[in-house]
Structure 1
């Protein structure tokens, strides 16, 4: 595996940034996620992106959004590339593409470290954005490939924050694991979904906190 590292040169000073936020949405499609649960994730994510507060914040930020599907080692794919969210119509189109996104893999392991590494590499295309976030959802512990914590120094060097949503369908201590091993960066946090049925409400809460930079609990 190749770890992707770049210099911070030029990120401290420079012209006013046209993009406030680059947000990569990394969705777990490992073998523990069945077809119904996959659809709950995609439909819930699309609905959350259409939330009035979320959509207003994304358009105002001229955000860049990207969708990644991930599972086991060497199985991470950008299924919707970076998209400039400069209007509500563009965001509506992106949301529709999320809802319609075809699942790439099934029946593979959970390689969170490699998902972070592969997603991090794509941020080379959006270095002009002031904030860089990976929003990772998952329902299990990393059980294949590089450990997530090994990627943390490289994420910090790139100024990329990782937040997570822990779907505790079968792993009751997943939130604690994500706190210790997955999230990284100033203000990084984990939102807990009790199960996949809870995912739509939790991802909305998570996006509200991320795109509006709220630190208090969002209802």
Structure 2
């Protein structure tokens, strides 16, 4: 009995020490970006440029600096099929304009790789794992996932969303609505707004903010990231809310 008690005390002490080693931030944010072949090359490039511009924008930097701690932890992950999830920029603390510009530069400089199929569930599961195993402790934990079509491969979406719910991670969506499918993909007749509402986003206050043109895409990314970092919600006309 004494040995078991000693082991339990040791385990609790180790867990407390590990918790103390975590860096506190206002938000742990995964930017999970679809770069499957349903996204054509121009669209993939514009997506990344939009995120780079948003990360360096004064509104985003102001939202970060205005938080209780004035810092967030963020990683930028590009995904495609169930085996393709790659961090173009690993976990980084952003607490200043210099931090934001440095992270944006890292994203911009990363090689743009592509993958077949659209495995949204696997991308969510990978994002949950990245949050659960990082060295940060955020007041909020969030996955911001973009996509221009429905899932066609990989882990069941309901199972992936349940993983996020269990970990208390919110999933917001950025459906990219385009009439020009990728080179190797046939057009899919689907209401992408409704698809994200019913199958992707989850958690308290979760929302999807759609982009329908190239210009709107950049604006939507900036608007969405600013709201997410500030912990605010967009006006009802702008969003698709998570189903209850």
Q: Does the Cα contact within 8 Å between 1:22 and 1:133 map onto a contact in 2?
A: yes
What do the CA deviations read for 1:42-65 (whole angstroms, capped 9, x no partner)? Answer: 111111112212112224431001
Q: Does the Cα contact within 8 Å between 1:167 and 1:196 map onto a contact in 2?
A: no
Structure-1 residue corresponding to 2:26 = 20
Q: 2:191 aligned with 1:185, yes or no?
A: no
Give secondary structure in 2 for the equivalent of 1:137.
strand
What do the CA deviations read for 1:147-176 (whole angstroms, capped 9, x no partner)? Answer: 222112211121111001001114551110
1:1-219 map, 5 Å? 18-60=24-66, 61-106=70-115, 108-123=116-131, 124-170=133-179, 173-217=191-235
Q: Distance in 2 between matches of 1:55 and 1:116?
A: 26
The answer to which of 168-177 and 66-75 deviates more is 168-177
Larger-gyration structure (1/2): 2
TM-score, normalised via structure 2 length: 0.78
Give secondary structure in 2 for the equivalent of 1:91.
helix
Matched residues, number: 208
Q: Distance in 2 between matches of 1:155 and 1:126?
A: 18
Q: Distance in 1 between matches of 2:22 and 2:127?
A: 25
Q: Does the Cα contact within 8 Å between 2:142 and 2:171 map onto a contact in 1?
A: yes
- TM-fit CA distance, 1:206: 0.7
TM-score, normalised via structure 1 length: 0.87
Q: Distance in 2 between matches of 1:14 and 1:32?
A: 43
- TM-fit CA distance, 1:114: 0.3
- TM-fit CA distance, 1:178: 0.5
Q: Distance in 1 between matches of 2:153 and 2:53?
A: 31
- TM-fit CA distance, 1:215: 2.0
CA RMSD across the alignment: 2.4
Q: 1:21 to 1:14 in 2, by over 3 A?
A: same
Q: Does the Cα contact within 8 Å between 1:43 and 1:98 map onto a contact in 2?
A: no
**Stretches of structure 2 lacking an aligned partner (at least 5 in a row):** 1-14, 180-188, 239-244
- TM-fit CA distance, 1:16: 11
- TM-fit CA distance, 1:15: 11
